[in-house]
Structure 1
Amino acid sequence: MPRVVSLFLPSWSTDRLRRKLGDASPPPDNPLVLVGRQGNRRLVVATDRAAIAVGLRVGMPATKAQALVPGLVIVDAEPEADADALDRLALWALRRYAPIVAADPPDGLVIDTTGADHLHGGEQAMLTDMIERLASAGFSARAAVADTWGAAHAVSRFVRRNVNVVARGGARDALLPLPISALRLPDTIVEGLRTLGFESIGEVLAQPRAPLTLRFGPELGRRLDQTTGLLNEPIDPIRPPDVIEVQRVFGEPIGAAETIGRNIGKLVQLLCAELETKALGVRRLDLLLHRVDNRIEPIRVGTAQPVRDVKRLTRLLCDKIEKIDPGFGIELMRLAAPLAEPLTPKQTISSLIEQPDADVSDLIDTLGNRVGEEKLYRFSPVASDVPERSVRRIAPASPDTGEAWPDHWPRPARLFAVPELIEAIALLPDHPPASFTWRGIRRRVKRADGPERVFGEWWKRDTELAAVRDYFQVEDEAGERFWIYRAGDGEDSATGSHRWFLHGIFG
C-alpha cells in the first residue's frame, strides 16, 4: 500500500522573505503582509502569524489592512520567487527523504515515502525530522502521511497538529469530519455544496453520487475517489537537472522477480559506468518502476560511504524486490543517483605491507537498508569528565574524532543512561560501601577500589559549581563488579546529597 506525505508550509511566502532579508527582516512580532494586484486592486496575498493574530486575512484590500494596523510592514509579493524556492525545497527533500517528491503549489510538497520511511526511523520520526529541520531554517510547517495524496493534503491543512500519521487503511475515517474545502475543489463547487447544506466530507460521501455529478460535474466525484483511494493520483516527481540517471524501456511489460532482478543488474552497470567517468560514488540510489497503470513503484537504498561497486549496489536493490508490486506489468525502469560524492581510487597494497583494517561498510549498508540508518550507530568519546556526557552516538562509518576515554580509571561496559538509587552502608568520607542494596537484593562488597573524584562542569550550570561525585569499583561475593558513586564529598552537604547511586556494570 502506498504512503504519501503532504508537507504544508502555512506561511511559506513570508517565511521565505524573512530568511532572504536575514538581519534586515522586521522583528517576528511585527505584522508582515505581502500584497499583489488583482486588476486595479492591491490585495493581501500572504500573511505571517503576527498579522493573522491582529486580524489580517488573505484577500483583504491592502489599504484596509494598513488602516487597521499602524506600522504594518507591506512588501510586494514575489510568486515566481516563491515557486522557484519551493522547487529547490523539493530537491532537498528528494535527496534526503524519498525518491518521489514534487512541489504542491503554492505552499507545500508531496512526497511518496513508500518503502523509504524505515531509513529514517519510521513515519513518526521522519515527519518530526522534517518539521524540526524546517523550523531550524525559519519555516513553520505541518506534515501528514496517509495512503493517498488527497488524504494527506487534507489532514496536514485542517488538523491542527504539526505531525499527523494516518493509519494504513484509515484515510476515509480521517476525512469524514473535515470540511469540504479540504477536497481541493474549485471555490464555485465548495460554495455550491455549502448552499445545499453540506459542511463536512462525511456528509458528501454519504450522498448518492449521481445527483451530485449531475449538478457539479465529474470534478467532485474524481476528487472524492482520489482522496479515498478508489482512483490513483500519480505524482510527477521533480528531477535534479544534474542527476546521474539511466533507464530501460520494455516493449512488453515485465513482472517476474527474476526479470526485474536481471534488469536491475544491467541498470547498475550503466550507472556505475557514468559514475566512473565523473569519479563519483553513490550515497543514495533510487529505482523507479513505472507500471502500465500509471503508478510508480519506488525503491531507495543508501550507503554509508560513496560506492561504485556493481555487485554491491545490485545486491542492495535486489534485496527489495519482494516489496515491489508490478501490477499488470512494468514498462519502464529508471535508476538515478540523487546523492553522489567524490570517490577516490584505492591504492593497491603490496603483500609485503601490513594488510589494512577489514572493510565493514558493506555490512553497514546491508543492515542500514533493512532496519534503518537511524538504528545503526557507534559510540564516540566526548571531552567531558562527567561519565554520562563523555559519550555520544555517531554514524557507524564516521571518521575517528580523535577523542579518547580516560585510561587511568577503567569504565564499565554498560553505563546506565540514568544512575539508579541504591542503599549503601559506608564509613564516610573516603571508604567504599561495606554492602549495598540494588533492586531489592542486598550485596556484600568483597573488594573495592577508589574513590575516583569527578567534579561538576561549573561552566555549564551554576548548580554544578560545587558538585562532587566519588566513584568506586566494587565486587560482590558472587564476583559481579559494579560502578557506584556517592553524590558529594562525604563532608560538605553543599557538594551533594551524599546518597549512593549505581551507574554502571562491568562485563
Structure 2
Amino acid sequence: MRRVVSLSLPTWPTDRLRRAMGASAPPPDAPLVLVGRDGRKRKVLAADAAALGLGLHPGMAVAKAQALVAGLTVMDADREADALALDRLALWALRRYAPIVAPDPPDGLMIDIAGASHLKGGEAALLGDLTERLAAAGVAARAVVAPSYGAAHALARFGRGSPMIAEDDLAAALSPLPVAALRLPPSTVDGLHRLGFERIGELAAAPRAPLALRFGAEAGRRLDQAYGRVEEPFDLVTAPELVRVLRDFAEPIGAPETLARYTGKLAVQLCEALEERRLGARKLDLLFHRVDNRIEAVRVGTAKPVRDVRRLTRLLSDKIETVAPGFGIERMTLTATVAEPLHYRAGASSLVEAAPADVSELVDTLANRIGANRLYRLSPRESDVPERCLDRLAPLAPAAGRTWPVDWPRPSRLLDPPEPVEAMALLPDHPPAAFTWRGQRRRVMRADGPERIFGEWWTRDAELEAVRDYFQVEDEGGERFWLYRAGDGEDPQTGSHRWFLHGLFG
C-alpha cells in the first residue's frame, strides 16, 4: 500500500534565513518579511509567523506592508539559497527516514515511507520525530501521510484534521478542501470559482468532458493524482557522494526469484564499490523503478558497518515480498545511503582463546523485521527509584560499566505504572497481612522489608519529602510480589499511605 508524506514548510524562507544569520537574526517575535521585484514593483515574497499574524502575506506591496506594521523588518529574498537549502533538507530526510524523497519547491518535501516507517516505530512515530526535529531547529512544519502525494500535499496545506489518512477515509478527507488544494494554476482556480466549484468534492462529482473542454486535462489529472488513480513522477534527490549501483533491463522483470537474483548481483557490485572506498554500509535503499513511473522501495539497516555480500543480499531479499512489480520493473538501484569506515576486528589472541561471538547478523535480521526501536538491551542507571534505574541501549552499544545492586533483589517484571491494591497492614513498619489485586484477594504467608526509598529531591520539588516503603511478599500459592506503601506510615506529607503493586518476581 502506498503511503506518502507531504512535508509543508509554511515559513521556510524566513526560517532558513534566521538559521543562516544565527545570533544576528531578528528575534522570533519580530515581524519579518522577505521582498523581491515583480517587474517594477517591490512585493512581499515571504513572511514569518509574526508577520502573518499581523495580516501581512506574500504578494502584498512592500509599501503597504510597512504602512500596516510599524518597525517591520524587511530583507531581500534569496530564492536560490532557499532551493539549495531545501535540497539539503531532502538529503537529510533521505538518510534518516525513507529511500524515496523529492524536494517540492518552494516550501516542502515528498517522502514515500512505504516499507520504511516500521524502522522508526510506525507512521505516528515517524511524523512526530520529523516535525519535532524541525521545530527544534527553528523550522515550522506540518506533515501529513496519505495514500497519494496529491492528497497528502492538499491536506498538509489546507487540512486541519488527523495527519494520518487511511485509504478508506481519503474521499471524505478531500471533499471539503478548496479546489486550490489540487495544485491547479490560479487562472484555472478562478475559472472554477466562476462556475460555482468551491470544494474538491463538488469538482469530483462533476462530469469530466465539460471540464476538459473548458480547462484542458489538467483539472482531471490533478483529481486523479489526489485520489491515487494515476501515478505521479518525481525527480528523486540524489547525492554524488553516495555509493550507488544500478541495473537497467531491456525487458521488464517481475518474478520474485528474478528480483532476488538481480538483488544479489547488485549487492556484489555495491560491496566492490564500498571496498574501493574502505567503507561499510549502515543503511541500504533498494529501489524498483516500474514501467508506470511508480517506484517501489526496500530499506534495511545494519547495527555496524557491513560489506558482506551474503549478509546484505539476505537482508534485502527478506523484503522483496513487499514489492509490487505491477506491469514490470525496468530499473533497479541499490544505494548505501549511510556508509561508515569499516574496521575489521582482530580474532582471538591465542590458539586456546575463543573468538568473541558476533551477534550483529542476528541483530540486523530482527531489527529489520520488527523495527530497530523495538530492539534494545537494558543497562543499569544510577537511581534508587525503580522506574528510573534502567536505560535502553542499542543492542551492540558498549557496556556502560555499571552493575545491578545486590543488597535487595529486584523483580523480573515491573508494572508501568504501579497498580493500586487494597491492603491490610499495621502502621508504620509492618508488611501487609493480605492484599487485593485485580479483584483477587491474596493472603500473605511470608514477607521481607521494609526497604525505604526516598524521592530524588534534585529532580523536582514534589519529591523533597517523598518516601516509599517496599516489601517482598509471598502469597499462599507461592507467587511473589513487590509492594510498596507511599509514605512512611506516619507523616502524611511523605505520601498518601496507599499501597501499590510495582513488580512480580519469577
* TM-score where L is the length of structure 2: 0.96
Identify the residue that residue 88 of structure 2 maps to in structure 1: 88
Identify the residue that residue 224 of structure 2 maps to in structure 1: 225
Identify the residue that residue 67 of structure 1 maps to in structure 2: 67
Alpha-carbon distance in 1 for matches of 2:217, 2:438:
68
Residue deviations 1:334-377 (CA, integer Å, cap 9, x gap): 11001111220121325634324432222221122222222222
Matched, 1:413 2:412: yes
Identify the residue that residue 39 of structure 1 maps to in structure 2: 39
Matched, 1:112 2:112: yes
Amino acid at match of 1:159: G
Residue deviations 1:114-137 (CA, integer Å, cap 9, x gap): 211222222222112211111111
Identify the residue that residue 6 of structure 1 maps to in structure 2: 6
Alpha-carbon distance in 2 for matches of 1:221, 1:335:
35
Identity between Structure 1 and Structure 2 (%): 65
Contact 2:444/2:473 (<8 A) preserved: yes
Matched, 1:364 2:359: no
Identify the residue that residue 349 of structure 1 maps to in structure 2: 348
Give the deviation of 1:257 after TM superposition. 1.4
Count of residue pairs the alignment pairs up: 506
Give the deviation of 1:24 after TM superposition. 2.5
Specify every segment of 5 or more residues in structure 2 that has no aligned partner in the other structure, as ranges. Answer: none
Say which SS state the counterpart of residue 225 (structure 1) adopts: helix
Contact 1:147/1:169 (<8 A) preserved: no
Map 1:328-339 → 2, pairs under 5 A: 328-339=327-338
Alpha-carbon distance in 1 for matches of 2:217, 2:95:
37
Alpha-carbon distance in 2 for matches of 1:257, 1:500:
58
Contact 2:282/2:339 (<8 A) preserved: yes
Say which SS state the counterpart of residue 382 (structure 2) adopts: coil
Alpha-carbon distance in 1 for matches of 2:143, 2:396:
31
Alpha-carbon distance in 2 for matches of 1:479, 1:265:
55
Alpha-carbon distance in 2 for matches of 1:487, 1:91:
51
Residue deviations 1:178-203 (CA, integer Å, cap 9, x gap): 11101111111111111111111111
Contact 1:189/1:216 (<8 A) preserved: yes
Residue deviations 1:51-77 (CA, integer Å, cap 9, x gap): 111111111111111111111111111
Contact 2:348/2:356 (<8 A) preserved: no
Identify the residue that residue 491 of structure 2 maps to in structure 1: 492
Change (3 A) 1:236 1:170: farther
Alpha-carbon distance in 2 for matches of 1:479, 1:107:
64
Alpha-carbon distance in 2 for matches of 1:352, 1:472:
51
Alpha-carbon distance in 2 for matches of 1:299, 1:65:
49
Give the deviation of 1:91 after TM superposition. 0.3
Alpha-carbon distance in 1 for matches of 2:8, 2:371:
26
Alpha-carbon distance in 1 for matches of 2:445, 2:353:
46
Identify the residue that residue 51 of structure 1 maps to in structure 2: 51
- TM-align CA RMSD: 1.7
Say which SS state the counterpart of residue 188 (structure 2) adopts: helix
Give the deviation of 1:322 after TM superposition. 1.4
Contact 1:305/1:361 (<8 A) preserved: yes
Alpha-carbon distance in 1 for matches of 2:484, 2:275:
57
Say which SS state the counterpart of residue 397 (structure 2) adopts: coil
Specify every segment of 5 or more residues in structure 1 that has no aligned partner in the other structure, as ranges. Answer: none
Give the deviation of 1:447 after TM superposition. 2.0
Give the deviation of 1:90 after TM superposition. 0.2
Matched, 1:473 2:477: no
Alpha-carbon distance in 1 for matches of 2:461, 2:349:
57
Identify the residue that residue 136 of structure 1 maps to in structure 2: 136
Map 1:55-454 → 2, pairs under 5 A: 55-161=55-161, 164-349=163-348, 352-454=351-453
Contact 1:470/1:488 (<8 A) preserved: yes
Contact 1:240/1:338 (<8 A) preserved: no
Change (3 A) 1:72 1:310: same
Change (3 A) 1:489 1:172: closer
Change (3 A) 1:118 1:251: same
Contact 2:347/2:355 (<8 A) preserved: no
The runs of at least 4 aligned residues of structure 1 exceeding 4 Å deviation read none
Contact 2:488/2:495 (<8 A) preserved: yes
Contact 1:30/1:50 (<8 A) preserved: yes
Contact 1:282/1:306 (<8 A) preserved: yes
Alpha-carbon distance in 2 for matches of 1:22, 1:377:
37
Larger deviation: 448-457 or 419-428? 419-428
* TM-score where L is the length of structure 1: 0.96
Alpha-carbon distance in 2 for matches of 1:491, 1:295:
70
Alpha-carbon distance in 2 for matches of 1:374, 1:15:
31
Residue deviations 1:220-245 (CA, integer Å, cap 9, x gap): 22222222222221122111120001
